């Protein structure tokens, strides 16, 4: 059985992280590159945000006995295969999952321009993900 309380708490946390990240979306590339504290805050918050999305997906996958994913980005592919999200949203979430892996495993390769692009262009997809999860849960 899907733990609605758990999903609700994770969705609320995602909303908090989105609000925190939006505070940095107005940074210029020059300002962002010069502010290591902002970089650290944004990168860590993006990591946690993406992990919350993956946690929700894994909970749904486990509860509904869907195919076991082979990694972070494959988690979202499983959701596509089961009609939770569409292909377009999957592609965005897959890129974010790969970016999360970059943050966690290869610090020296993080491109500030890509981080700002994610802040400006990809965060609305997290809102779409939240809506898709809520819609899926309503149909259980």
Measuring CA to CA, which residue among 35, 11, 14, 10 is closest to residue 116?
35
pTM (2 decimals)? 0.94
Count of structural domains within the chain: 1
pLDDT class of 69 with cuts at 50, 70, 90: very high
Look over the chain and give the mean of its residue pLDDT values, rounded to a whole number: 95
In this prediction, residue 106 carries a pLDDT of 80
Domain range enclosing 48: 4-138
What's the average model confidence in pLDDT over 96-118? 90
pLDDT at 18 over 90: yes
What's the average model confidence in pLDDT over 11-16? 98
**Can you give the CATH number for the domain in which 103 is found?**
1.20.120.580
């Amino acid at each position: 059985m899907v733990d609605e309380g758990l999903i609700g708490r994770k969705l609320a946390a995602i909303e908090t992280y989105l609000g925190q990240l939006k505070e940095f979306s107005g940074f210029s590339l020059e300002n962002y590159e010069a502010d290591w504290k902002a970089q650290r805050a944004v990168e860590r918050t993006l990591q946690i945000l993406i992990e919350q999305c993956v946690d929700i997906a894994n909970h749904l996958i486990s509860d509904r006995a869907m195919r076991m994913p082979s990694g972070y980005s494959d988690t979202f592919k499983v959701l596509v295969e089961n009609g939770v999200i569409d292909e377009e949203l999957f592609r965005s979430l897959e890129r974010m999952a790969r970016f999360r892996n970059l943050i966690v495993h290869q610090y020296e390769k993080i491109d500030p321009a890509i981080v700002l692009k994610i802040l400006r262009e990809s965060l609305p997809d997290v809102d779409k993900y939240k809506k898709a999860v809520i819609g899926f849960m309503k149909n259980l």
